[in-house]
C-alpha cells in the first residue's frame, strides 16, 4: 500500500501538487472550494444590497467592519480552541453555523427586515467564521505528511481563489437573474449562498484525520495566549513575519469589501462585480497552481516579499485603471500576489513554530492578517466616501509597499529562509526564528 501511495505523490510533486495524493486532503479541499464560493456570493450580494439601500460607501465599510469584527476579538481564542479540540471539529462547526446564519440573513432581507438586524446577524456570522479560521490552515497538518504541508497550504489558498471565480460568476449571475429589483435578487442570492456554505460541513465531519501533535489539555484561556505572544516577541524574525501580515491584511484585503463601490465609481452596472471576482479568482488560481514551485525556486522568504510587491503594485494599478477591463486585470495580479504571499508566509509560520504552539501562532498571524480587516474596512469606507474608492486602493498599495520595504530592511535574513522538501527542516539564517528541530512522527 505504501508504494501505491508514493507513486502518485511523486508524479504530483513534479507539478507542485503533492497534497492531492492524499484523499482526506482532497475531500477537505473540495468542501473548501464550495464554502469559499458561497462566501463570495454572500459578500457580493450583501454589500450590493446595502449599497442599494443606503447609497453610501461608508455604510458598506461600516457593515463590513461589523461582520469582520469577531476576527479581531476572538481569533486568538479560536487558535487556542483549535489546539484544544482539534482542527477538524472547528472547521465543521464553523461551516454549519455560518450556513445557518447566512440563510437567516437572506430570509430576513427578503422580508425587508431592518438593516441593523441584518448587520447584527453579520456579527454572529463573523463569530462562526472566526471559529474556523485558524483550523482551516492547521488542519492540513492532520491531512498530509510534513513534506506535503507547503503544497497543502498553497492549494488551500488556491481553493480560496477558485471560490472567487465560482462565486464571482454565480454571484453576478444570481444578481441579474433572481429578480429585476436588486432588493429581491440580492436576498435570494444570499439564501443560495447559505445553502452552499452549510453543506460542506457534512463531508468535513466525516474525514478521518490523524492528529500529529497532542492536543492542549489545560483549561486556562488567557495564559496560553500570553505564552504565545511572549514566544513570538522573543524570536524577532518570526515576529516580523507575523507582524508584517498587518499591512496586506488591514490595508490590502479590504479591497474586496470595496468592490461594489469600485464598480459604481467605474460607472459599471452592479452585476459587473462578478467580472472583478472572476478576474481576481483567475489570478489567484494561476498563482496557486505554481505557488509550491515558486516557493521552492525562490525560497519561502523571497516568495513572501515577491507576493507583497505584487499586491502593492497591483492595488496601485487597479486604483489608476479608470475602466473595468484594466481593473479586472489588476485585481487578477492583486489576488495572485495574495496567493503567493499567504502561502509562503503561513508555511514559514507553521514550520518555525513548535507543535504545541502551532495553532496559537497561526491564530496570531490570522488575527493580524484577517482579524484586523474590520478596522481596515471601516477606514477604507471612510476614505472612499470622502475621496473615491479608486484613490483608496492606491493609498492601500502604498502602505503595503512601505511596510514590506521596512520589513526587508529591518530583518533581511527573512529572504534566506527556505523550508526543506521533507517539510521539517528550515534552511537559511535562522537567527531570531525560534526554530527547533522536533522529533519526526513515527508511521
Distance CA 126, CA 371 (A): 10
| Residues 6+ positions from 297 with CB-CB distance below 8 Å | none
Q: Which three cell numbers stand for residue 126?
A: 463573523
pTM of the predicted model as reported, rounded to 2 decimal places = 0.68
Instruction: Kindly provide the residue ranges of all beta strands, DSSP E only, lying in 66-169, ordered along the sequence.
Output: none
Q: What is the pLDDT of residue 10?
A: 58
The predicted structure's pLDDT at residue 141: 77
The answer on pLDDT for 194 being more than 90 is yes
Q: Could you tell me the pLDDT band of residue 149, with boundaries at 50, 70 and 90?
A: confident
Pick from 175-179, 322-326, 396-400: least confident: 175-179
Average pLDDT of the chain to the nearest whole number: 80
Rounded Cα–Cα distance for residues 361 and 161 (Å): 24
pLDDT digits (tens, 9 = 90+) for 260-271: 788 888 877 766
Residue 100 pLDDT exceeds 90: yes
What pLDDT score does 101 carry? 94
Report whether pLDDT(430) > 90.
no
Would 278 be classed as within a structural domain? Answer: yes
Q: What is the pLDDT of residues 210-255, one digit of tens each?
A: 655 444 544 544 566 677 777 878 888 888 888 898 899 888 887 8
Does residue 12 sit within a domain?
Answer: no
Residue 10 lies in a domain: no
3-class SS of residue 28: helix
Q: State percent of the chain over pLDDT 70.
A: 87
pLDDT of residue 223: 63
CA distances from 80 to 74, 76, 131, 225, 239 (A): 10, 6, 10, 8, 19
Quick one: pLDDT at residue 96? 93
- Asked whether residue 114 is assigned to any structural domain, the reply reads yes
pLDDT band at 442 (very low <50, low <70, confident <90, very high): very low
CB of 76 within 8 A of CB of 232?
Answer: no
- Which CATH number covers residue 98? 1.20.1250.20
Of 288, 295, 321, the C-alpha closest to 393 is: 321
More confident residue, 434 or 412: 412
Tell me, yes or no, whether 241 lies in a domain. yes
> Which of helix, strand or coil describes residue 212?
coil
Q: Is the Cβ–Cβ distance between 422 and 248 less than 8 Å?
A: no
User: Into how many domains does the chain fold?
Assistant: 1
Name the residue with higher pLDDT: 436 or 207.
207
Which of 222, 26, 56 lies closest to 143 in space, CA to CA? 26
Q: Residue 340 falls within a domain, yes or no?
A: yes
Res. 195: pLDDT tops 90: yes
pLDDT confidence band for 2 (50 / 70 / 90): very low
In tens, the pLDDT along 24-38 reads: 888 988 888 888 888
Q: Which domain holds residue 31?
A: 18-201+221-427
442 lies in some domain: no
Q: Is residue 438 part of a domain?
A: no
Q: pLDDT tens, 344-390? A: 888 888 788 776 677 678 777 877 887 777 778 778 878 888 888 88
**Cell numbers for 6:** 508514493
Question: Contact, 380 vs 258, CB < 8 A?
Answer: yes
Q: What is the mean pLDDT of residues 393-398?
A: 92
Amino acid at each position: 500500500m505504501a508504494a501505491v501511495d508514493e507513486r502518485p505523490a511523486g508524479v504530483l510533486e513534479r507539478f507542485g501538487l503533492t497534497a492531492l495524493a492524499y484523499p482526506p486532503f482532497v475531500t477537505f479541499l473540495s468542501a473548501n472550494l464550495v464554502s469559499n464560493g458561497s462566501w463570495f456570493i454572500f459578500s457580493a450580494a450583501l454589500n450590493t444590497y446595502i449599497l442599494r439601500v443606503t447609497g453610501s460607501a461608508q455604510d458598506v465599510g461600516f457593515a463590513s467592519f461589523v461582520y469582520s469584527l469577531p476576527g479581531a476579538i476572538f481569533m486568538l481564542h479560536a487558535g487556542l480552541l483549535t489546539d484544544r479540540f482539534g482542527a477538524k471539529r472547528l472547521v465543521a462547526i464553523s461551516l454549519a453555523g455560518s450556513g445557518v446564519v447566512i440563510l437567516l440573513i437572506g430570509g430576513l432581507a427578503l422580508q425587508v427586515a431592518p438593516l441593523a438586524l441584518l448587520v447584527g446577524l453579520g456579527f454572529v456570522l463573523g463569530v462562526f467564521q472566526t471559529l474556523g479560521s485558524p483550523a482551516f490552515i492547521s488542519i492540513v497538518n492532520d491531512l498530509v505528511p510534513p513534506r506535503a504541508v507547503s503544497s497543502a497550504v498553497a492549494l488551500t489558498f488556491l481553493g480560496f481563489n477558485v471560490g472567487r471565480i465560482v462565486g464571482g460568476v454565480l454571484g453576478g449571475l444570481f444578481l441579474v437573474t433572481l429578480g429585476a429589483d436588486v432588493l429581491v435578487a440580492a436576498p435570494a442570492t444570499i439564501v443560495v449562498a447559505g445553502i452552499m456554505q452549510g453543506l460542506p460541513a457534512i463531508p468535513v465531519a466525516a474525514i478521518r484525520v490523524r492528529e500529529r501533535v497532542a492536543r492542549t489539555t489545560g483549561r486556562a484561556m488567557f495564559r496560553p495566549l500570553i505564552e504565545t505572544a511572549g514566544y513570538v516577541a522573543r524570536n524577532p524574525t518570526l515576529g516580523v513575519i507575523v507582524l508584517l501580515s498587518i499591512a496586506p491584511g488591514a490595508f490590502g484585503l479590504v479591497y474586496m469589501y470595496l468592490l461594489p463601490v469600485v464598480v459604481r465609481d467605474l460607472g459599471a452596472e452592479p452585476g459587473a462585480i462578478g467580472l472583478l471576482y472572476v478576474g481576481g479568482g483567475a489570478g489567484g488560481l494561476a498563482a496557486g497552481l505554481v505557488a509550491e514551485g515558486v516557493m521552492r525556486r525562490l525560497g519561502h522568504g523571497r516568495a513572501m516579499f515577491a507576493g507583497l510587491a505584487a499586491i502593492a503594485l497591483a492595488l496601485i494599478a487597479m486604483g489608476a485603471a479608470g475602466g473595468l477591463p484594466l481593473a479586472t486585470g489588476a485585481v487578477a495580479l492583486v489576488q495572485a500576489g495574495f496567493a503567493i504571499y499567504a502561502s509562503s508566509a503561513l508555511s514559514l509560520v507553521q514550520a518555525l513554530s513548535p507543535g504545541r504552539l502551532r495553532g496559537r501562532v497561526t491564530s496570531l498571524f490570522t488575527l493580524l492578517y484577517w482579524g484586523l480587516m474590520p478596522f481596515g474596512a471601516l477606514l477604507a469606507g471612510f476614505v472612499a466616501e470622502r475621496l473615491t474608492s479608486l484613490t483608496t486602493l492606491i493609498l492601500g498599495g502604498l502602505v503595503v509597499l512601505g511596510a514590506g520595504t521596512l520589513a526587508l530592511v529591518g530583518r533581511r535574513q527573512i529572504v534566506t529562509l527556505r523550508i526543506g522538501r521533507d517539510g521539517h527542516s528550515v534552511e537559511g539564517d535562522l537567527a531570531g526564528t525560534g526554530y527547533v528541530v522536533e522529533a519526526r512522527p513515527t508511521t
